[in-house]
Amino acid sequence: MSSASWRPTAVLCGTAMLALLAGGAQAQETEKGTVWGDLRDVTQDMLLRAEGDGNNFLHPQHNYHQTRYYPNAQINTSNVHKLRPAWIFQTDINESMEVAPIVVNGVMYVTTSFNHVYALDARTGEEIWHYKHRMGPITTYCCGPNNRGVAVAGNRVFMGTLDAKVVALDAKTGKLLWETQVGDPELGYSETMAPIVVEDKVIIGTNGGEYGIRGFVKALDAETGEILWTFHTIPDGDRHLGEWRETDPMGRSLNRDIEAEKKKYEEMKAAGRADFIWQHLGGGVWQTPAYDPETRRLYFVVGNPSPDLDGSERPGDNLYTDSLVSINVDTGEYVCHYQYIPHDVWDLDAVSPPIITTVKDKDGRDVKGVLHGGKLPYVFVHRADDCSLIRWSENMVPIENLWALPTPEGTRMLPGANGGVEWSPMAINPVLRYAYAVNLHQPMTYHVEHQPYPEGKLWLGGAFKVIPGEEQRGNVTAVNYDTGEIVWQVRTQQPMIGGVLATAGGLVFAGEGNGWFRAYDAKTGAVLWQFQMGAGVNAPPSSYTVDGRQYIVVAAGGNVQLNYKRGNDIVAFSLAE
């Protein structure tokens, strides 16, 4: 592993660029070929070919495989130092932003906290229309009122909402076409993830793993909003018990008392409470699934069990929490899974969006694989056909006292409950065969406290607490996913959260909570460019090309979870002329 060095560059300040702020037109009908760009329908063929599309950014992670690799190289290692703000748009909401901007034929769609959607001219940042969701009377959500973006298909824009709905908007006007309730917010369900669309289906998961929900992935009819199928991430009956595994993927003991768990389950059965487990076991899916058109399979990761830290009322492996899961996109039928942490009592769930790409198997042969980086500080490499684990990377943040059980007084263990990679989307460079991840190092103590199910209220079963005085930091890490070796790593002053973009120009872009947005050399990790945004850059960047000019765009809204400075800027960068 090599440690990359800083390369200082000229510092620009986002707040000094207010003269570039775009105006705010009201929602209006737009026509093909106007100054707003070509608003023709997004076809399924366009969505399928997005991986090679060097003009648009059609999916939250650029393509169905979720590689976050943009194939245009106009901005590259030789000229990135000339990158300057092309325009800045300020939203109406000064709150955490985790959105990945979507760009379709010169039109950009961005969301904010509390479910606002903006359509912008991607050339200038001028507002085309603005949709503000009319929220229901009840919203229950963990970790901030975030939204991670929209899906586009046909002439429609789709968004999940904090009051557990999916809405469809007219892409040209922002007019509401339909809305469907997919969960009960009074019981802890909410939506923050960006959905995806496959042909006639809108695919969405759910938040709520801290509230005792039963997690799901649903497919909705894109035309009508009708729910077509539901896959429950917690199987009913006793299937959630699993194999009573005693070790993690590396063979380390999880310190489980299997006999005590089995006895507890029999007691709950005798008392008529066995069904309570699967009905309230959590397992939210709150990051966008990857999709493989060849096999017509979705791949997604499932979050933590409920309650997070107290396993006494949920004996067994708690399937399919903390797992990579694959299902059939047409029917929602289960295909395969791999569970990282059976019976998790540390809230170290699997959350970052999976990536489908070609990897080396254990015999060195190229196979279709799935990458995932979650709160455990590894990049995991799986076979796509059966979800089996091929390898894992070197750990990207320190590990200490791993799988020590939480206690009422508090047990120190690393990593802390925020990870790792946490939810931040990774990116890959398929030429170098590197995966890029941003990480958090936050030492914590884990505390357990028995708490009865509170129906729709926060249900942690204890607490995880940052240790005062201990260093917190982050890093940007490049991993060779064919070997698991860390190739380079750049340490940052604060824990990192937000996501990564890689480009064919040999660059990696990522932002920090202190406002710095940086470009790294994809091969070495050297910092080639930086810009001070004035608020936390805790959202994944996107890239697009309009009229022959490539742009890099990112949101600077800060972050609730780590309490980074809030803002309301969407900033697009291009090369100085």
- φ/ψ bin of 512: left (φ > 0), alpha (ψ from -120 to 50), beta (otherwise): beta
Q: Among 303, 146, 123, 139, which residue's Cα sits nearest to residue 209?
A: 303
What is the three-state SS of 234-302? CCCCCHHHCCCCCECCCCCECCCCHHHHHHHHHHHHHCCCHHHHHHCCECCECCCCEEECCCCEEEEEC
Q: How far apart are CA 381 and CA 551, in angstroms?
A: 31
Q: Among 278, 76, 18, 40, which residue's Cα sits nearest to residue 152?
A: 40
Q: How far apart are CA 575 and CA 158, in angstroms?
A: 32
Provide the 3-class DSSP secondary structure of residue 46. helix
Q: How far apart are CA 52 and CA 506, in angstroms?
A: 16
Q: How far apart are CA 91 and CA 474, in angstroms?
A: 28
Give the residue numbers annotated as catalytic, written as ranges. Answer: 347
| 59: DSSP letter | S
Kindly compute the dihedral angle of the four CA atoms of residues 267, 269, 272, 274, in this order, to the nearest 10 degrees. 110
The continuous run of DSSP H or E covering 327 comes out as strand 323-328
Residue length of the chain: 577
Give Dmax over CA atoms of the chain in angstroms: 75
Q: How far apart are CA 38 and CA 50, in angstroms?
A: 17
Q: What is the DSSP string of 161-214?
A: -TTSEEEEEETTT--EEEEEE-S-GGGT-B--SPPEEETTEEEE-BB-TTTT-B
| 314: DSSP letter | S
